[in-house]
Chain A
Amino acid sequence: MSALLLRDLRLAFRAGGGFGLGLAFFLIVTVMVPFSVGPNSATLAVIAPGVLWLGALLACLLSLDRLLALDWEDGSLDLLATAPLPLEAVLSVKSLAHWLTTGLPLVLAAPVLGVLLNLPAGGYLWITLSLLIGTPALSVIGTFGAALTVGLKRGGLLLSLLVMPLYVPTLIFGAEAARRGAAGMAVETPLLMLGGITLGAIALLPFASAAVLRVNLR
């Protein structure tokens, strides 16, 4: 399994691997928001946590259609499915690789980009923490969507439509935790809910993803 993780990370960092796509999108969104809503720093401070969370979520969504489609196109998904690794493990490892190459860079970039949006000083810890807890769920749910749509022509659109509603709980609790943190309020409840969603997704969704992928490979 470490071989698969290593391979996916290596592929992501090689030319054309798509590493940086999500990060670039996140950067563009957060740089553009002050232009569109105006330079009023009080307004920006209020919307900053929500904008950062939405930007990270859309950046993550953007990279999902490559998650399994590339392996499907060159035939290695068939070969992985007949390899001795259980398909659940293959998909969990691929989610992890996706998080390491997409989610983690977003988590690390968020506090830097928070400066551009005039995020209040108390909010930096909480935006980072809430993204750190929430983004693994985005990768795992995204893998489920990718397994569901792999092999479809122009599956990207369907993938976005299917995954979007599943992202809503993570977005609500993640942005709420970041917003409360920035406003100096208690953050325990939304953070606990966010952690619960992430842990539940990590525990259960790989089984669902493997089941739909098996059907899709037929």
Chain B
Amino acid sequence: MIEVRDLSVSRAGFPVLEGVQFALPAATALVLRGPNGIGKTTLLRTLAGLQPPLAGEILGDPDDIAYAAHADGLKLTLTVEENLTFWARVFGAHDIEPAIKAFNLAALRTRAAGSLSAGQKRRLSLARLMVTGRRLWILDEPTVSLDAASVQLFAATIRAHLNADGAAIMATHIDLGIEGRVLDLTPFKAKLPALDADDGGFL
């Protein structure tokens, strides 16, 4: 579904990861691990097409990808239903009922998103993925502020998505009980160029 060859990514002009390689077939999940600041978010943003790679190539159809960032991306003055319906229409889907059901949002559907708790907002933000109809989900810390029961809902959704020939790449530190590959990013940490190597222009 997506293949990454010798990919280097940069954050704020500094290379953070280099030589990242993996291939992800359909119906599998890839979990990214690594300490804070290693470049998990940067790698996911590059895969989602929000920033160009420094080097290397990403083979795959960009129209397959649905991206879920750290931020929930919700409009607080719109209701749960309006938020979901908006994204469904943007992605050309019409039915938001499966997503409402999967994330147990039925009781909240007429509430404004601003009145939800952090965990409820997160559930709504994850429900958005289901209405995109995309096959490859790119998830950045999807389980932040979810309680144990909601994590189970999320894990079940991911499992159903994989069974339907989807795929997922996620940066997460908790074990979801999903059989998938784990990719530790620590070995790919970019070596910073020696400081005096290309500082000549400034001095």
Q: Does A82 contact B (CB under 8 A)?
A: yes
B180 to chain A, nearest CB (A): 22
Q: Which of B50, B65, B85 has the most CB of A within 10 A?
A: B50
Pairwise interchain contact B90-A10, C-beta atoms closer than 8 A: no
Pairwise interchain contact A74-B73, C-beta atoms closer than 8 A: yes
Which residues in B have their C-beta under 8 angstroms from that of A10? 78, 82
Pairwise interchain contact B51-A16, C-beta atoms closer than 8 A: no
Which residues in A have their C-beta under 8 angstroms from that of B65? 82
With A11-B78, A14-B77, A82-B50 known as contacts, the answer to whether A75 contacts B70 (CB < 8 A) is yes
- Taking a contact as CB atoms closer than 8 A, the residue among A3, A4, A78 that contacts B71 in the complex is A78
A134 to chain B, nearest CB (A): 30
Interface size class of B (residues with CB under 8 A): 20 to 34
For the complex, what is the distance from the CA of A15 to the CA of B89, rounded to whole Å?
Answer: 24
Q: Does B76 contact A (CB under 8 A)?
A: yes
Pairwise interchain contact B73-A82, C-beta atoms closer than 8 A: no
- Taking a contact as CB atoms closer than 8 A, the residue among B67, B71, B74 that contacts A82 in the complex is B67
A35 to chain B, nearest CB (A): 36
Interface size class of A (residues with CB under 8 A): 20 to 34
Pairwise interchain contact B63-A84, C-beta atoms closer than 8 A: yes
Q: Which residue of B lies closest to A7 (CB)?
A: B86
For the complex, what is the distance from the CA of A6 to the CA of B85, rounded to whole Å?
Answer: 11
Pairwise interchain contact B77-A3, C-beta atoms closer than 8 A: no
For the complex, what is the distance from the CA of A4 to the CA of B78, rounded to whole Å?
Answer: 13
- Taking a contact as CB atoms closer than 8 A, the residue among B49, B51, B63, B69 that contacts A75 in the complex is B69
A2 to chain B, nearest CB (A): 8
Pairwise interchain contact A16-B77, C-beta atoms closer than 8 A: yes
Pairwise interchain contact A85-B69, C-beta atoms closer than 8 A: no
With A74-B72, A83-B91, A84-B92 known as contacts, the answer to whether A11 contacts B50 (CB < 8 A) is no
Q: Which residue of A lies closest to B113 (CB)?
A: A74
A-B contact count (CB 8 A): 69
A12 to chain B, nearest CB (A): 10
Pairwise interchain contact B90-A83, C-beta atoms closer than 8 A: yes
Q: Does A104 contact B (CB under 8 A)?
A: no
Which residues in A have their C-beta under 8 angstroms from that of B77? 11, 14-17
Which residues in A have their C-beta under 8 angstroms from that of B76? 74
Pairwise interchain contact B51-A78, C-beta atoms closer than 8 A: no
Q: Does B75 contact A (CB under 8 A)?
A: yes
Which residues in A have their C-beta under 8 angstroms from that of B167? none
B70 to chain A, nearest CB (A): 7
Q: Does A43 contact B (CB under 8 A)?
A: no
Q: Which residue of B lies closest to A12 (CB)?
A: B77
Pairwise interchain contact B90-A84, C-beta atoms closer than 8 A: yes
Q: Which of A15, A17, A82, A85 has the most CB of B within 10 A?
A: A82
With A7-B78, A84-B63, A217-B51 known as contacts, the answer to whether A78 contacts B69 (CB < 8 A) is yes
Q: Does A81 contact B (CB under 8 A)?
A: yes
Pairwise interchain contact A76-B51, C-beta atoms closer than 8 A: no
Query: Which chain A residues (39-87) contact chain B, with CB distance < 8 Å?
Result: 74-76, 78-85
Query: Which chain B residues (21-72) contact chain A, with CB distance < 8 Å?
Result: 45, 48-52, 63, 65-72
Which residues in A have their C-beta under 8 angstroms from that of B49? 82
B162 to chain A, nearest CB (A): 21
Chain A residues with a Cβ under 8 A of chain B:
2-4, 6-7, 10-11, 14-17, 74-76, 78-85, 217-218
Known: A11-B77, A76-B75, A80-B90. 14 other contacts (CB 8 A): A6-B86, A11-B75, A14-B78, A74-B73, A74-B75, A75-B69, A75-B70, A75-B72, A78-B73, A79-B73, A82-B48, A82-B50, A82-B65, A83-B91
Instruction: Please give me the 7 A-B residue pairs with the lowest Cβ-Cβ distance, nearest first.
Output: A75-B71, A3-B89, A14-B77, A75-B73, A218-B51, A76-B73, A79-B73
Chain B residues with a Cβ under 8 A of chain A:
45, 48-52, 63, 65-78, 82, 85-87, 89-92, 128
